[in-house]
Amino acid sequence: MRESFFLALANRMPRGRIGIRMRRELLRLAGIMLRGKVVVLGPVTIVPVGGARHIRIGERTFINNDVRFASRGGVTIGRHVQIAARVSFETASHTLSFLPGCSRPGTCAPIVVQDHAWIGAGAIVLPGVTIGRGAVVAAGAVVRRDVAPMTVVGGVPARFLRNLPEQSDDLDDDDQNTPGSDMCSYA
């Protein structure tokens, strides 16, 4: 009940600096572990009720509007991650086998998004997937397998498209020249 109350309040906050700060604190009160300044621009959906406690989000991460967390299996998002609108994290699924007259058994597996990843609009990340450091998931992709660091994947199902050039290894919390650092100015 507490989670639902604070999530409902957070989802009604207006955009802008004050609304973003209030939304961040309300999401913390709902049970999401937010480290440092995280920007959540718009409403998020968390299922099932009680799932907020299974979500961990690293500092300086940017989350656009209408992001869905089906978080029964757990969702861990690293630092400096950019998540576009309408991205869906689905940690639960069903097996292919069934017994006549019964539903298919459910399965859960965690999702991990490592530091500096970017997930494009409308992407769907399925159970058990790890998205590597600095990787890019193209808009509309359905990710069902791990994504290697510093690669781009896209399509349905997502497949390797290309490697990305390596950045310096000294990226840290204080680096203000990372792509999207202007988005952190909201916080």
Q: Which residues are catalytic?
A: 94
Which residues have CB under 8 Å from 108's CB, separation 6+?
72, 73, 91, 92, 93, 127
Contact 59, 116 (CB under 8 A): no
Whether omega for the bond prior to residue 48 falls within 30 degrees of 0, making it cis, is: yes
Helix 17-30 and helix 2-11, axial crossing angle in degrees, nearest 10? 170
Whether omega for the bond prior to residue 110 falls within 30 degrees of 0, making it cis, is: no
Nearest CA to 110 among 146, 142, 144, 73? 73
DSSP 79-106: TT-EE-TT-EEE-EEE-S---TTSPPPE
Angle, CA 2 vertex, CA 82 and CA 10 arms, to 5°: 40
